[in-house]
Structure formats: structure tokens, C-alpha cells
Amino acid sequence: MEIKKILVPVDGSEANKKAIEFAAEMAKKFPAQVLLMHVIELNMPSALQVEYSYVQYSYTDEDLKNLKDISRKILDNAKEMLEGVEVSTFSYVGYPVDEILRVSEEEDVDMIVMASRGMSGIKKYLMGSVTNNVVHHSKKPVLVIP
């Protein structure tokens, strides 16, 4: 298997750092380009939405600007961990699973490297819902880092 492009979805979590470090090692060995992506989630659930699922949340322009600033910081921090590796960064607004699957196809990546759970992961679950869905729906190989 030849690996030229590795997609690494990032969320700024501690667990995600392990996935970035692993991708860096792989990129140096092959050599490969690393594509870092962060997704600003649409309709992020609030306590109110969980209680009243019919309530739709939408971001104000100010919310979206702040979230894009946070996204850029998450991507910049991840990029710092990839010294000596060719890196591209992408930020999207959408549903994480959909965006990860879309980018993996559009960019024709050879592999997706993800943490088993990220910011929203609950320790009692073996794998986070985003990772689990990507594993089950991706047409590309997915390497899950515990």
C-alpha cells in the first residue's frame, strides 16, 4: 500500500494529539502529505435541544466568527506538531462525519487517522460517535488511535 495523503480530523482534544503524532510518524516514513481538518459542527446540541429536540439552534455571525477563530487555533496547534511534514489545513462548517467522508473522497486520501474519541467522547464508550460512523461508512482505510 502506497500512502501519499493522510487525512487527520482534529478537534483540539488530548486524545487527538496521539492521532496527530502517529500521522506525523507515518508521513515521515512514506513520505506523505498530511491534511488536517477541523469541522465547526452545525446545530451543536445544547442542553435545551437535548430536552426539546424540536428546537433548532443556528449560529449568529458573531458566534460563527468566534468559532472560526477557535478552529484556526486548533489547526495551527495541530500543524505545529507536524514539523518537517508537508501539511495542508482545512476548516469547514457542517456535520463532522459528512465532512470527513466528503473530504476523504474529494482529496483522494489514502488513509484517515483518527482518535478513538475526541472532545465530546464519553469515557464509557469504546469509540466516539464521529469515529465510529467514519469507520463504518468510509471507503478509505481508517486507522483508529486509542
From 107, 136, 134, 139, select the one nearest 118 (Cα to Cα): 134
Number of Cβ within 10 Å of residue 71's Cβ equals: 22
Structural domain boundaries enclosing 18: 5-145
How many helices and strands (H and E) does the chain possess?
5, 5
Q: How many domains does the chain have?
A: 1
Query: Which residue has 487527538 as its cell numbers?
Result: 16
In terms of pTM, does the model score above 0.75?
yes
| Residue 50: predicted pLDDT | 47
Tens digits of pLDDT across the chain (146 residues): 899 999 999 999 888 999 999 999 999 999 999 999 999 987 655 444 444 444 555 778 898 899 999 999 999 999 999 999 999 999 999 999 999 999 999 999 999 999 987 655 444 444 568 999 999 999 999 999 98
Give the domain CATH number at 27.
Answer: 3.40.50.620
Q: Per residue in 9-33, pLDDT tens? A: 999 988 899 999 999 999 999 999 9
| Whole-number Å distance between alpha carbons of 78 and 82 | 7
CA–CA dist 32, 38 (Å, integer): 20
C-alpha cell read off for 89 = 489545513
